[in-house]
Structure 1
Amino acid sequence: MSDLSRSGQGFLAGSLIGTLGGLIGLGGAEFRLPVLVALFRLGTLEAVILNKAMSLVVVSAALLFRGGAISPDLLAPHLHVVLNLLAGSLVGAWWAAGHAIRLPRHWLDRIVMLLMLGLALVMLAEAWSGRHAGSPAPLLEPGALRLLAGVLAGLLIGMVAALLGVAGGELLIPTIVLLYGLDTKVAGSLSLMVSLPTMIVGFVRYARAQAFAVLRQERPLMRGMAAGSVLGAALGGLLLGAVPTAWLTTLIGALLLVSAVKTFQHAR
């Protein structure tokens, strides 16, 4: 397959995935990973590294897009939430990426499959939990216990983000809403502020792996899919509300369940 053809296919796939993700407020990295493995025939570790590189581009663009919609003055009072989660997510991302490099490929396949299954179940649960209905009361009052819970939550989210090459928004947003009792829109912007440094840490850690060469080998695919993902995310954001979020999230969660099993159960 020529570089131009691979780039074109990447752009088309990225656009579709980005649009679906944008419709439910995600970057779409959760859906790019099985596509990279199943459609473009990348190894699991190579696909995770490529997915993380594209997630960095998409999250950076999302931060710029949201900057005009949500004032920094609205986010400033909640920076302690970002710092609390980062205290755990940076450690989790560094640790998980380091172990992913050394894991036998069949074990990495199994772990990725289980994490994607878990992520799909989280999406299905959130679809009907009323997460988008408003801001609930925080689970814990400010204090040492909430700080500890934030660090532990960040640690787990950082590990998942590093192992799947995702931004982790599907886990970060409900964590911020439930643990700290913040509005969903504010939580979306804060999650991006946590995601970006967390992904950078995992990305730097992956640079030590031989599989990091995939960024050079698959440059046309990465450029095409990243461009399509950004365009699709912007389009999906404009169409937000056109389809009932609960229905769409349920459909995508079910598709993610099926694709996780079919893709990574027999991945090589």
Structure 2
Amino acid sequence: MNSITAILVFVAGLIAGTLGGLLGIGGCVIMLPALVFIFKYPLPLAIGTTITAVILTATSGAIAHIKLRNVDYSTAKIVAISGAVGAAVGSITFFYIANQLWLLNFILGFAFLYVSIRMIYEGIFKRKMPAKTGNKVPGSRFAKSLIGFFIGIVTGIVGLGGGYALVPSFIYLLGSPVKIAVGTSLASFISMAVVSGAFKLYQGVVDAIAAICLGIGTIIGAQIGARLTKIFPSWAIKAVFGFVFLYVSLKFIYQGVSVLE
């Protein structure tokens, strides 16, 4: 990777981090499409590079939320362990389907379809996350283990799962306060990202320089995005980017169909 490309990838990470911090969706759902559609990375390499970059992002975010006391440590421990196991299962699965580009495109397409529908719904109806108080994520150990395990599998396969899946799972399935859901998801997700990233490095599908550039960019961008929430209404931006992600999801699905033809 030359210096100009490295700078452009850093800028992509900066934008991803800013939008992720502003919308509360995590940077990975922006980084991955950028690598595929803008920088023309092969899909397996884009997945491996994205999840490796997220190690830096999740760690930085988790440290910030630990300082703010927004982490439920008991839940984070359960989800981190079950998620790491799931990430290993997903990463092994990825090894066998990495050459099945049609399948990877379909999985990503439907993953982004979920993101787009949720954002459009929350944006158009100005739906706010439940305003609950407390410093714990409710729910049984079994429920939390299942959530961690299955999101870990998704993370291992397609490099997504933190803000886009864990946060809404904690909030809508378990009834967690928003700030605790965000902080706990970041702390929980580190293990999934590390396991997935390690597998992808071993499998040779990580551009390490790009991952570092993206990771640093998202760390800086997340701070910017957090400050912009005071200026821009998040519901309006969610609605706009919901349709953007709808396009992304359909593009992944179309690519999957094209590969099959």
Q: TM-score range by the shorter chain?
A: 0.7 to 0.9
Q: Residue 118 of structure 1: which of 114, 136, 140 is its match?
A: 114
Amino acid paired to 2:39: F
Q: Residue 222 of structure 1: which of 206, 211, 233 is its match?
A: 211
In the alignment, what sits opposite 2:46?
Answer: 47
Q: Quick check: 1:251 aligned with 2:221?
A: no
What CA distance in whole angstroms lies between the structure 1 residues aligned with 2:229 and 2:39?
29
User: What is the number of residues matched between the two proteins?
Assistant: 252
RMSD of equivalent CA atoms = 2.6
183-192 or 201-210: which moved more? 201-210
Q: What is the correspondence of 1:142-181 to structure 2 with a 5 Å cutoff?
A: 146-181=140-175
Q: Is the 8 A contact 2:129 2:171 kept in 1?
A: no
- Superposition deviation, residue 210 in structure 1: 3.3
Q: What is the correspondence of 1:64-79 to structure 2 with a 5 Å cutoff?
A: 64-68=63-67, 70-71=68-69, 75=71, 78-79=72-73
Change (3 A) 1:124 1:161: farther
Q: Is the 8 A contact 2:29 2:164 kept in 1?
A: no
Q: What is the correspondence of 1:1-268 to structure 2 with a 5 Å cutoff?
A: 3-68=2-67, 70-71=68-69, 75=71, 78-103=72-97, 104-127=100-123, 128=125, 130-135=127-132, 146-212=140-206, 214-215=207-208, 219=209, 221-263=210-252, 265-266=254-255
Change (3 A) 1:130 1:81: farther
What CA deviation, in whole Å up to 9, does each residue of 1:191-225 have, x standing for no partner?
1111111111212222331324x33xxx2x33333
- Superposition deviation, residue 87 in structure 1: 4.5
Q: Is the 8 A contact 1:32 1:51 kept in 2?
A: yes
Q: Is the 8 A contact 2:58 2:187 kept in 1?
A: no
Could you tell me which runs of 5 or more consecutive residues in structure 1 were left unpaired when the two chains were aligned.
none
Change (3 A) 1:81 1:226: closer
Q: Is the 8 A contact 1:93 1:202 kept in 2?
A: yes
Q: Is the 8 A contact 1:160 1:168 kept in 2?
A: no
Amino acid paired to 1:42: Y
- Superposition deviation, residue 120 in structure 1: 2.3
What CA deviation, in whole Å up to 9, does each residue of 1:27-81 have, x standing for no partner?
311011111011111111100010011111111121233343x13xx64xx3222
Q: Percent identity?
A: 21
Q: Is the 8 A contact 1:90 1:197 kept in 2?
A: yes
Structure 1 residue ranges (4+ consecutive) displaced by more than 6 angstroms after TM superposition = none
122-131 or 96-105: which moved more? 122-131
Change (3 A) 1:147 1:126: farther
What CA distance in whole angstroms lies between the structure 1 residues aligned with 2:66 and 2:152?
24
Secondary structure of 2:205 counterpart: helix
Amino acid paired to 1:22: G
**What's the TM-score, normalizing by structure 2?**
0.85
